């Protein structure tokens, strides 16, 4: 009887120890904590907060002095794709950008990240390009337009103003030439009408002259006395003279 009770007590003690050795489940993270972990802060390679006087002037973007970034993943990917357009437009390597140059320009640490950015830019129709993994370069055929820099706006305005002035000059010359040709056409029509009128008058005068001439040469009808039947006898039928 004592053995049975001891065994039952030993089992209870063992089960209690097994229950006490289990690790508690970690609490679930909130949505804000998950987004905070996924959102890059500070530099791309570090996780440091902004602590410089340029932050109020460049909120949520790239600091031009320190190169720090504070953007959501989607916005950061879009910024890198647009930066890839700028790199393609300013490249002097015959539209073949080496992987190392693109990674340094886009602040990427691996080839896989660079290829993902290029593929996303191609699918978003920002660029037309091909990836050469063997040659380690990006061959870009075409790219979309970026926003116009502020310092180039005066030059664009001057170029468009000069173009508008040339267009206005061409328009004025075309209008003057058209007016001159219209006046020439009107004058030619008047001369044609005058010539047709003169020709019609000459034909009428000629017809009248021809009719007058024909009337003057027609023979006049006069009454002549016909000889008598006896007077028209033949000489052989004349009566011989008396002997």
Residue with tokens 């890059």: 40
- φ, ψ of residue 131 to 5 degrees: the values are -95, 130
Residue with tokens 């916005």: 75
pLDDT in tens, 106-144: 888 888 989 999 999 999 888 888 888 888 889 888 888
Contact by Cβ (8 Å): 139, 130: yes
Contact by Cβ (8 Å): 104, 116: no
Q: Write down the pLDDT at residue 211.
A: 86
Helix (H, G, I), strand (E, B) or coil at 223: coil
**What are the start-end ranges of the E strands in 29-103?**
96-98
Nearest by Cα to 127 from 176, 175, 88, 169? 88
Q: What's the rounded Cα separation, in Å, for the pair 216 and 233? A: 39
DSSP one-letter code for 27: P
Contact by Cβ (8 Å): 97, 135: no
> Cα-atom radius of gyration of the chain, to the nearest Å?
57
Q: Write down the pLDDT at residue 17.
A: 47
Which stretches of the chain score pLDDT less than 50? 1-19, 40-61, 222-223, 242-243
Q: Quick count: other Cβ atoms within 10 Å of Cβ 83?
A: 18
Residue with tokens 């030439």: 177
Q: Write down the pLDDT at residue 196.
A: 93
Nearest by Cα to 118 from 143, 90, 94, 145? 143
Which pTM was predicted? Answer: 0.40
Contact by Cβ (8 Å): 97, 85: no
Distances from the Cα of 53 to the Cαs of 61, 88, 94, in angstroms? 14, 32, 40
Q: Write down the pLDDT at residue 52.
A: 44
In angstroms, how far is the first alpha carbon of the chain from the final one?
227
Q: What angle do CA 49, 52, 53 make, to 5 degrees?
A: 140
């Amino acid at each position: 009887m004592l053995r049975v009770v001891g065994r039952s007590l030993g089992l209870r003690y063992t089960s209690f120890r097994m229950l006490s050795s289990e690790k508690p489940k970690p609490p679930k993270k909130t949505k804000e904590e998950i987004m905070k972990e996924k959102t890059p802060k500070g530099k791309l390679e570090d996780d440091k907060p902004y602590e410089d006087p340029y932050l109020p002037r460049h909120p949520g973007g790239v600091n031009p002095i320190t190169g720090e970034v504070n953007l959501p993943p989607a916005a950061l990917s879009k910024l890198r794709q647009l930066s890839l357009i700028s790199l393609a437009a300013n490249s002097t390597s015959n539209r073949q950008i080496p992987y190392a140059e693109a990674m340094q320009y886009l602040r990427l640490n691996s080839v896989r990240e660079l290829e993902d950015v290029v593929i996303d830019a191609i699918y978003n129709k920002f660029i037309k390009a091909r990836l050469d993994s063997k040659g380690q370069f990006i061959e870009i055929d075409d790219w979309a337009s970026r926003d116009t820099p502020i310092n180039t706006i005066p030059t664009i305005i001057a170029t468009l103003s000069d173009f508008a002035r040339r267009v206005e000059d061409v328009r004025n010359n075309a209008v003057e030439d058209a007016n001159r040709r219209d006046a020439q056409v009107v004058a030619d029509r008047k001369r044609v009408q005058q010539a047709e009128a003169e020709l019609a008058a000459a034909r009428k005068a000629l017809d009248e002259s021809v009719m007058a001439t024909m009337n003057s040469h027609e023979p006049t009808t006069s009454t002549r006395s016909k000889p008598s039947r006896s007077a028209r006898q033949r000489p052989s039928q004349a009566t011989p003279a008396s002997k």
